[in-house]
Chains A and B, each alone.
Chain A
Amino acid sequence: METTGARVRVEACGKTFPDGTHALEPISFEIARGETVAMLGPSGCGKTTALRIIAGLMGPDAGGSVWFDDEDVTSLPIERRHVGMVFQSYALFPNMTVEGNVAYGLKIRKVPKAERAARVGEVLDMMHIAELADRAIDQLSGGQRQRVALARALAVRPRLLLLDEPLTALDASLRERLRTEIDALLRSLGITAVYVTHDQSEALVLGDRVIVMEKGRIAQIGTARDIYLKPQSRFVAEFIGTMNRIEGSIRTGRFESAVGGLAVERADANSAAAFFRPESVRLERPESAPFRLTVERVHFLGASQRLHLRGADAGRPIIVDTDNRASYAPGALVGIAVAAEDLLFL
């Protein structure tokens, strides 16, 4: 089944609600043909507003525009944009069967009956729900509804697929399985897609690129690898994955903190913070290590162990993932070191 994806361009789209709240500051970005972009952020960051503007469920403030390929679709309502959308609550029609739901978009487009049946069958097969065709919506499980919602959105062969937190309502194991399936589906269809989520693992797995949003602004756009390894702000650093932070200052080429210091090639700053991931920490002997901390808790996880370390201050513990060989006792003093390329100052 071939689908043709559009290139999407969002230009200076902001949104101010009638009560004066700025849900979205003017943002701009492009999505390449066939690319999946994940919009990630905490609730209230503007990601759903951005999605609704791209979908045509909402217009941007004056000055903003949305382009599909070279067509300005800003003033087109959603029903004329030829997109497919999967809603968080699925929005399946309870008055129609599964087949009726999936066929609805084709019926609206006046696709002849025989072709309609063939295309509905094709999509139901693709989503592995052919046996549910005659079921009523209220007889379906959450996962089945999710599949029907996707099938319904794909049946019209949209030029852009929009997914608004599609897995949020499902339990964890089902979420993971469907995440893998959606990934395979998006890749095999080559359709342009925007995937809104507050779940970072969904965003990292599904997004060719991830747009991290904060308070109505784009905090960072990049591949999953960029976002995780090279965060450009404290917000992105701490929002994605587990991130350790040691507060201190930089003076004459040395970073100094309450738990130790090391030489850095950076300009002086009265307050600076060193950021690093639990997995990039090397445990060393305290005498020779740049940072010295006390073991607070040890979680032995089988293949690895996770240590919670604490310095002099009462802040968040420093989390360290290490192999399962050495054993650490709470209360012991340990030294930690982080390779220069894994250490970020933000």
Chain B
Amino acid sequence: MQRSGSFILVAQIVVTVLVCAFLFVPAVLSVSAGVTANYFQGVWKSGVTFVWIGEVWRLYADTIFLSLEVALATLVVTLVAGVPAAYVLHRHPGRLTRALEEIITLPLAIPGLAIALALILAYGTYGDFRKSSLFILTGHVLYTMPFMVRSVMAVLAAMDAVTLEEGAASLGASPWQRFRDVVLPNVRPGILAGALMVVTLSIGEFNLTWMLHTPLTKTLPVGLADSYASMRLEIASAYTLFFFVMVIPLLVLMQAAAMFSGAASGSAGSRR
């Protein structure tokens, strides 16, 4: 009995390790290629170098900065517009607000290319707008807004914001005081989760951005595609390294935030 139990355990570990290896090897190869002097000779023969990383910085630093700028701007817009929108949608449930929620969520179901095409058809003729990074920002806001709105709405529903506000109102708090003292502090986990999602999605967004960009407004993923197509494999791989360094901390934070808000909503559940 015990022997077959330990056999199953060993088998589980072996399978898990193999599957992990299958998934990790490409990422490891890609990262190691970025610091290999000559990928075709291999890292052992040609040695480790940071030349390619320097080269990427020289060629593509502006795309990295543009990606960060666009991501932060997207975050600001989704915060300023999305949080109040989620609040209003939650406070006034009805046919109209449900329709609005659907419309906000729609970009998730439509291919990014189609959204980009629609934006180009509608606003492509406004030259200054078309050429600026604001055009990309518009696409990113459309695409990431549902993530902010939905994650804030989920927390509002879990905490029963309407009743909490009525509680504050019964104690004399004005609508603004209620929002500031009760709604905002309790909805923070939702805002945090939404914010991390928005920034991560914006930094990695390719479909939309590839259609919307101009030679002067390239973001990191667009630059990556460009380097894959026209540069040495080592440069493209070093470029990927930059992307990892930017995105992995965000993903880790997102996990932590999800665990935190999971714990918070878990305790909200036990309250009923």
Q: Which residues, 278 to 337 on A, are CB-close (under 8 Å) to B?
A: none
Selected from A78, A109, A145, the residue in CB contact (under 8 A) with B170 is A78
Q: Which residues, 136 to 172 on A, are CB-close (under 8 Å) to B?
A: 137-138, 145, 152-153, 156, 162, 169
Interface assignment of B177: CB less than 8 Å from any CB of chain A = yes
A82 in contact with B271 given A89-B160, A93-B182 (CB within 8 Å): no
Q: Scan B165-183; emit 1 where CB is below 8 A from any A CB, else 0.
A: 0111111111001000110
Shortest Cβ gap from A82 to chain B (Å): 7
Selected from B171, B268, B271, the residue in CB contact (under 8 A) with A104 is B171
Secondary structure at the B interface, as helix, strand, loop or mixed, is helix
Question: What is the size, in residues, of chain A's interface with B at 8 Å between Cβ atoms?
Answer: 30
Q: Scan A47-72; emit 1 where CB is below 8 A from any B CB, else 0.
A: 00000000101000000000000000
16 pairs of residues in contact across A and B, judged by CB atoms under 8 Å: A55-B170, A57-B166, A77-B169, A79-B171, A79-B172, A80-B172, A85-B167, A85-B170, A89-B272, A90-B167, A91-B167, A93-B167, A94-B264, A104-B171, A108-B177, A138-B270
CB contacts (< 8 Å) of A152 on chain B: these are 171
CB contacts (< 8 Å) of A153 on chain B: these are 170-171
Interface assignment of A236: CB less than 8 Å from any CB of chain B = no
Are B173 and A108 closer than 8 Å at their CB atoms?
Answer: yes
Residue of B nearest to A84 (CB): B170
CA distance A93 to B187 in the complex (A): 12
Interface assignment of A92: CB less than 8 Å from any CB of chain B = yes
Are A91 and B172 closer than 8 Å at their CB atoms?
Answer: no
CB contacts (< 8 Å) of A109 on chain B: these are 172
Shortest Cβ gap from B178 to chain A (Å): 8
Shortest Cβ gap from A184 to chain B (Å): 23
CA distance A138 to B267 in the complex (A): 6
Are B163 and A91 closer than 8 Å at their CB atoms?
Answer: yes
Chain B residues with a Cβ under 8 A of chain A: 159-160, 163-164, 166-174, 177, 181-182, 185-186, 264, 267-268, 270-272
Interface assignment of A173: CB less than 8 Å from any CB of chain B = no
Are B168 and A93 closer than 8 Å at their CB atoms?
Answer: yes
Are B169 and A79 closer than 8 Å at their CB atoms?
Answer: yes
Shortest Cβ gap from B184 to chain A (Å): 9
Residue of B nearest to A137 (CB): B271
Residue of A nearest to B266 (CB): A138
CB contacts (< 8 Å) of B163 on chain A: these are 87, 89, 91
Interface assignment of A21: CB less than 8 Å from any CB of chain B = no
CA distance A55 to B160 in the complex (A): 19
Interface assignment of A250: CB less than 8 Å from any CB of chain B = no
CB contacts (< 8 Å) of B160 on chain A: these are 89, 91
Shortest Cβ gap from A89 to chain B (Å): 6
CB contacts (< 8 Å) of A138 on chain B: these are 267-268, 270-271
Selected from B164, B264, B272, the residue in CB contact (under 8 A) with A93 is B164
CA distance A138 to B271 in the complex (A): 7
Are B167 and A92 closer than 8 Å at their CB atoms?
Answer: yes
CB contacts (< 8 Å) of B268 on chain A: these are 94, 138
Interface assignment of A95: CB less than 8 Å from any CB of chain B = yes
B167, B185, B268, B271: residue with the most chain A Cβ atoms closer than 10 Å: B167
In addition to A80-B172, A89-B271, A93-B164, 17 A-B residue pairs with Cβ atoms within 8 Å of each other are: A78-B170, A79-B169, A84-B170, A85-B166, A87-B163, A91-B163, A93-B181, A93-B182, A93-B186, A94-B159, A94-B186, A94-B268, A108-B177, A138-B267, A152-B171, A153-B171, A156-B171
